[in-house]
Structure 1
């Protein structure tokens, strides 16, 4: 599971930057969140779940 965080705790330099910076951080957070939450790649769908038919044909043919 991915974690998204922001560690910016500095005080604003002047009043106009005081509102702009938190909004920019919020925008960045939501962009990262949406990108990770709706990523179509699901690696668990591609994991192998055991030996396949080719492995069985090769190894079971020897034991019999």
Structure 2
């Protein structure tokens, strides 16, 4: 007497797991981008030059010196 053969088809399970993995990957990428945007140390407005400073005015004879 031969043992009964059981055919297992894991294709639907593999597709489901692939979809779940793809969704989690997409979500994690979005979260990582958000964290990087908030944690970015570069702030160009902190380095904005507002015009010539006191050293420039002293070097150029005080022309247009601030009062």
TM-score between both structures, scaled by the size of structure 2: 0.61
Q: In structure 2, what is the equivalent of residue 18 of structure 1?
A: 19
Q: Please, which runs of 5 or more residues in structure 2 have no aligned partner?
A: 1-13
Tell me the CA shift for residue 23 of structure 1: 0.8
* CA RMSD after TM alignment: 2.0
Tell me the CA shift for residue 62 of structure 1: 7.3
Q: Say if 2:43 is the partner of 1:42.
A: yes
TM-score between both structures, scaled by the size of structure 1: 0.63
Question: Structure with the greater relative contact order (CA < 8 A, sep ≥ 6): 1 or 2?
Answer: 1
Structure 1 residues 3-62: Cα deviation after superposition (integer angstroms, max 9, x where no partner): xxxxxxxxxx82211111011110011011101112232121111111011111122x17
Q: Please, which runs of 5 or more residues in structure 1 have no aligned partner?
A: 1-12
The structure having more radius of gyration, on CA atoms, is 2
Q: Describe the SS at the equivalent of 2:17.
A: helix
Runs of 4+ in 1 over 6 A off after TM superposition: none
- In 2, distance between residues paired with 1:40 and 1:27? 21
